[in-house]
Amino acid sequence: MGEQARTHRTHWINGKPWTGEASVRGDIYNPATGQVSGTVDYAGRAEVDAAVAAASAALPGWRETSLTRRAAVMFAFRELVRLRAADLAALITAEHGKVASDAAGEVARGLEVVDFACGIPHLLKGGYSENVSAGVDAYSIRQPVGVVAGITPFNFPAMVPMWMFPVALACGNTFVLKPSEKDPSASLLLAELLAEAGLPDGAFNVVHGGKTAVDALLEHPDVRALSFVGSTPIARYVYETGTAHGKRVQALGGAKNHMVVLPDADLDLAADAAVNAGFGSAGERCMAISVVVAVDPVGDELVGRISERVAGLQVGPGDDEGSQMGPLVTAAHRDKVASYLDSGVADGASLAVDGRGHRVTGGEPGGFWLGPSVLDHVTPGMRCYTDEIFGPVLSVVRAPSYAAALQVVNDNPYGNGTAIFTNDGGAARRFTHEVEVGMVGVNVPIPVPMAFYSFGGWKASLFGDTHVHGTEGVHFYTRGKAVTSRWLDPSHGGVNLGFPVNQ
């Protein structure tokens, strides 16, 4: 690809592209070709300061904008995203590599949060109690936090930012987004559409880059709250650093999601689900199933059915309609994921399907390809089990009983998503009650909550108290205030210096 065809991406500050000269830039790759397709400016402290200053300047006006007007901007944004959904999806495929249907699905799931945010007048309603004491009324209100920041991962360059900013903006905050430097373009189209929808300049800003930009946001005194989604070590760092700087932080981390298959399950349904949830988006989903826990005696039969299906998957470029699985995001990530196949075998697992030999249909040889693989007889001590692989490798753990399977899931340090496959309602109910995981599916392999519920895991998958979007998102982006009010009438009882009590 010639220099001419390359795109160049820069920050979006105060309602327009940044016009400065960046001292650091990164390459953007097309994972299906392995070629550099563009460059992106990396923010230093000065650019982050400029974005936060723009958000601070926009805050008083946006915070005081009426609820109905803020909702109207969200409604307009919703229509614009729907109109441009195909363009957004194409940008995602070009930089992330995921197949077109997956990219379109990501946009659709992000839009559900915009739908939710359109209802903000209802969501911000407080409570009111008349006559809590004689002639005294009490009520509660929720107010925006201020300037808030979002730091997002490469694997959902549109949806994860949309978990955050629609709710934050609708609540009256202003926003600085730091998307993944690997696929920065979708966030810029979203910024343009917000401006077109009538959001005032400065209310939504985008800064690109890596650790320097993140650290500048974490330490900035004018950033009041910060939402993060990414890997567990960085989530922990962001949580600890952000809270040490006095910020409210929600930091969602990595995952190792287990799908328990009980002996009475429909094995064809379970095999289809394991393949869809294990290899969709090349396994680069925080809700991907990475471990199937097969309860005896279904292991051999289940692995056979999964392996048959995996062999038939079409791997190829995301913009080819026939492709079911695209490339991985970078060469380094592809190599790291592939290394778990060797380490798994060295640790005693058996390689039921080796994706390194999988045919790639229509792809260029330089693309970051790795076919789908299945590692069987994995045990919890193995490195392929303890690490989050985040790629198209499905591990199968054999368990002698329901209790043993549950223990495998609960002993894992992550707690993002899980699923159980069974036809026994009692067993499913017991599992949903006993499992220590934040999002649970019953015969549903990827139980991503709808926007009006909240998304988030337990244990090492989430640092902080609130999950994202839904009513927990509204809580995260607002502060509660309780007001007690008395309008004196001529019969009031005079001065009383005691502690207020209800009489």
Residues with catalytic annotation? Answer: 286
Q: Is 286 one of the binding residues for ligand NAD (CB under 6 A)?
A: yes
**Pairwise CA distance, residues 358 & 345, whole Å:** 18
Single-letter amino acid code for the residue at 493: G
Q: Is the dihedral of CA 283, 284, 287, 293 positive or negative?
A: positive
461 interacts with ligand NAD by CB under 6 A: yes
Three-state SS at 353: strand
214 interacts with ligand NAD by CB under 6 A: yes
Task: Reduce the DSSP state of residue 360 to 3 states and report it.
Answer: strand
In 3-state terms, the chain is what percent helix, strand and coil (to 5)? 40, 25, 35
Q: Does 112 bind ligand NAD (CB under 6 A)?
A: no
Q: Candidates 91, 190, 216, 255: give the one binding ligand NAD (CB under 6 A).
A: 255
Q: Do residues 179 and 149 make contact, with C-beta atoms less than 8 angstroms apart?
A: no
Q: Which range in 44-52, 132-140, 224-232, 361-369 contacts ligand NAD by CB under 6 A?
A: 224-232
Query: What is the maximal distance between C-alpha atoms in the chain?
Result: 88
Nearest CB to ligand NAD, comparing residues 84 and 256: 256
Nearest to 387 by CA among 280, 258, 288, 255: 255
Residue 378: C-alpha distances to residues 11, 157, 209, 351, 381 (Å): 45, 32, 37, 10, 8
Choice from 94, 120, 229, 374 touching ligand NAD (CB under 6 A): 229
Judged by CB under 6 A, the residue of 416, 418, 422, 454 near ligand NAD is 416
Distance between CA atoms of 84 and 209, rounded to whole angstroms?
A: 25
Of 211, 359, 429, 492, which lies in the binding site for ligand NAD, with binding defined by CB under 6 A? 211
Q: Of 159, 218, 236, which is closest to residue 455 (Cα–Cα)?
A: 159
Which one of the spans 31-39, 57-65, 115-123, 230-238 is the region binding ligand NAD (CB under 6 A)? 230-238
Contacts with ligand NAD by CB under 6 A: the residue count is: 27
Select the residue interacting with ligand NAD from 151, 216, 292, 396 (CB under 6 A).
151
Indicate whether 252 belongs to the interface with ligand NAD (CB under 6 A).
yes
Q: How far is the CB of 391 from ligand NAD (least distance, A)?
A: 10
Q: Which of 97, 161, 253, 363 binds ligand NAD (CB under 6 A)?
A: 253
Which of 178, 224, 248, 258 forms a contact with ligand NAD (CB under 6 A)?
178
Nearer to ligand NAD, 14 or 232 (CB): 232
Residue nearest to ligand NAD (CB): 230
Dist CA 288 CA 391 (whole Å)? 9
**How far is the C-alpha of 458 from the C-alpha of 439, rounded, in Å?**
9
Shortest CB 40 distance to ligand NAD, Å: 11
* Interface contacts to ligand NAD, rule CB under 6 A: 151-156, 160, 178, 180-181, 210-211, 214, 229-231, 234, 252-255, 286, 388, 390, 416, 457, 461
